[in-house]
Amino acid sequence: MQYNSVCHSRNIILYLNLIIMKPESLMMSYGYKPELSAGAVKSPIFLTSTFAFQSAEEGKAFFEIAYGFRTPEQGEELGFIYSRLNNPKLSILEERLTVWDGAEEAAVLESGMAAISTVLLEFLSPGDLLLTSGPLYGGSYYFINKVLPKFGISVVDFRVGQTKEQLREIVKNSGKADRLSMIYIETPANPTNDLIDIEMGREVAEYFSTGEKQIYVVVDNTYMGPVWQQPLKHGADLVLYSATKYIGGHSDVIAGACLGSGELLARVKKLRTFLGNMASPHTCWLLMRSLETLKARMDIQAANANKVAEFLLNHPNVERVYFPGTLNEADGMQYLIRQKQCLTNGGMISFDVKGGEKEAFQFLNALKLIKLAVSLGSTESLAEHPATMTHVDIESPYKEQLRITEKLVRISIGIENHEDIISDMKQALESVG
Ligand SMILES: *Cc1c(COP(=O)(O)O)cnc(C)c1O
């Protein structure tokens, strides 16, 4: 019983802490009571597959709640049963992760794709219609457009800049407006930094929702979250993360997360139990360690990104920079969404090198400090070529229409000294042509 209460910290003291303290102050302790783990300052890893019940009655009660046969009574918590269902490390991490987004519940899974695919499978049924923004992360694009249709799910998409009236038209023109079940948004979009208005997604969802059917708005917040953008506050029902990126932040772990209301997360966690794609205690340990420095890392990354973008804007071998910080009033809606939704300009910059694939590759091959690798959000700066790497699966000419062209390079800004990042990019840009 002792460890059951280790994780479930929904008690007055922690709630009060949450009200008066900033999330970064809670990342070392929230959801964990040292006195229940021999005084260990850091929560131990429980490498156990199964947990002993104190009585058969207790085991029965745990299963009733885990399988949703009854709702927990006041103060009753889900006891530990088996590590595919829950584990102390997983529960503490999930509790802690809710702080940033102000979510009721979180589920942590073994990859971002595990979080995304589990949510799509849980909330879509054969015959349903899914509306997505474009572009999407390559893996999400593949799952949505190549795997979901095998289960009888139709997909339509919209582009940056389209209005809610246009979104309604897209849904109506599909002929399946009555089967719309989810609006899936990625903002800022990987790799173009296009911004999508989450509130607009909510309005379209409400327009098509009926008394019997609620249409869910799901947002992949990997590019800005959880520190710089909190989609639940703008009308999203569920937030998704590749925790491999900023949350993990050290390029040493693959993980994913989903956050939202207790009601929706109960469904996500139930399917996770049967897909068996929960995060392992070891993954949770790495993520908890990372959460302690999340704000500090992301602050440096955002500050560095602003300086790098400024450098790129003024470089003769750079044709165009895609970065929220370069938006101004002349950019209309994109600028307004930036002001409304994002707390910083983020740490991701894409830009067009003057020329094409040859010049983009010359730049990438000449980098010395910045690693030529996919992934993002880590302490070290990374550079890649979306058209032939992360987004290679997207068909032409759709790919080019999304501005994922041969000259596009994507940079994830790390925590190195900004002068070193800039001088590396400067020498690499000079080698172009
Ligand atoms: C990387 C990424 C994913 C996939 O996450 P994994 O942890 O690699 O499974 C999903 N969405 C976005 C925006 C990403 O950048």
pLDDT in tens, 219-272: 999 999 899 999 999 999 999 999 999 999 999 999 999 999 999 999 999 999
Which amino acid, one-letter code, is at 90?
L
Q: Which helix (H) or strand (E) holds 187?
A: none
Q: Cα of 24 to ligand 1 centre, how many Å? A: 24
Pairing of strands 129-134, 154-159: parallel
**In 236-293, which ranges are continuous DSSP H helix?**
262-275, 281-292
Domain boundary among 35, 63, 94: 94
The answer to whether 26 and 96 have CB atoms below 8 angstroms apart is: yes
Nearest-atom number in ligand 1 for the CA of 377 is: 15
Q: What is the mean pLDDT of residues 18-46?
A: 91
Instruction: Give the pLDDT band of residue 36 (cuts 50, 70, 90).
Output: confident
The SS3 of residue 223 is coil
Ligand 1, pocket residues at CB < 6 Å: 111-113, 137, 139-140, 186, 190, 220, 222-223, 242, 244-245, 254, 256, 376
Residue 305: closest CA among 404, 137, 424, 422: 422
* 72 upstream amide cis, omega within 30 of 0: no
Say if residue 85 is in the same domain as residue 110.
Answer: no
The answer to whether 318 and 354 have CB atoms below 8 angstroms apart is: yes
- CA-proximal residue: ligand 1, atom 2 (nearest): 242
Owning domain of residue 16: 2-94
Q: What is the mean pLDDT of residues 379-395?
A: 94
The answer to whether 187 and 218 have CB atoms below 8 angstroms apart is: no
Distance CA 192, CA 213 (A): 33
Say if residue 74 is in the same domain as residue 106.
Answer: no
Say if residue 147 is in the same domain as residue 221.
Answer: yes
Domain count, the chain: 3
Ligand 1 pocket test, pick from 111, 137, 195, 250 with the greatest ligand atom count within 8 Å of Cβ, gives 137
Q: Cα of 55 to ligand 1 centre, how many Å? A: 42
Q: With 70 as the cut, is the pLDDT of residue 83 above it?
A: yes
Domain boundary among 291, 309, 340: 291
Distance CA 150, CA 165 (A): 30
Q: What is the pLDDT of residues 96-105, one digit of tens each?
A: 999 999 999 9
Q: What is the pLDDT of residues 392-415, one digit of tens each?
A: 988 899 999 999 999 999 999 999
Say if residue 86 is in the same domain as residue 150.
Answer: no
Say if residue 252 is in the same domain as residue 155.
Answer: yes
Q: Cα of 60 to ligand 1 centre, how many Å? A: 38
- CA-proximal residue: ligand 1, atom 5 (nearest): 112
Instruction: Kindly state the percentage of the chain with pLDDT values over 90.
Output: 90
pLDDT of residue 8: 45
Instruction: Kindly state the percentage of the chain with pLDDT values over 70.
Output: 96
pLDDT of residue 394: 87
Instruction: Give the pLDDT band of residue 1 (cuts 50, 70, 90).
Output: very low
Say if residue 272 is in the same domain as residue 355.
Answer: no
Ligand 1 pocket test, pick from 222, 287, 393, 411 with the greatest ligand atom count within 8 Å of Cβ, gives 222
Q: Cα of 112 to ligand 1 centre, how many Å? A: 5
The answer to whether 288 and 41 have CB atoms below 8 angstroms apart is: no
pLDDT of residue 217: 98
CATH number at residue 396: 3.90.1150.10
Quickly count helices (H) and strands (E) in the chain. 16, 12
Q: Cα of 245 to ligand 1 centre, how many Å? A: 7
Q: With 90 as the cut, is the pLDDT of residue 2 above it?
A: no
CA 401 to chain centre: 24
Ligand 1 pocket test, pick from 113, 132, 187, 350 with the greatest ligand atom count within 8 Å of Cβ, gives 113
Strand order in the sheet with 180-186: 105-109, 256-260, 238-242, 216-220, 180-186, 129-134, 154-159
Q: Which residues, listed in sequence order, are joined to residue 132 by a DSSP beta bridge?
A: 157, 184
Q: What is the mean pLDDT of residues 315-329?
A: 96
Q: With 60 as the cut, is the pLDDT of residue 293 above it?
A: yes
Nearest-atom number in ligand 1 for the CA of 115 is: 9
Kindly write down the DSSP assignment for every residue of 95-110, as one continuous string.
Answer: HHHHHHHT-SEEEEES
Nearest-atom number in ligand 1 for the CA of 243 is: 7
Say if residue 112 is in the same domain as residue 241.
Answer: yes
Nearest-atom number in ligand 1 for the CA of 222 is: 13
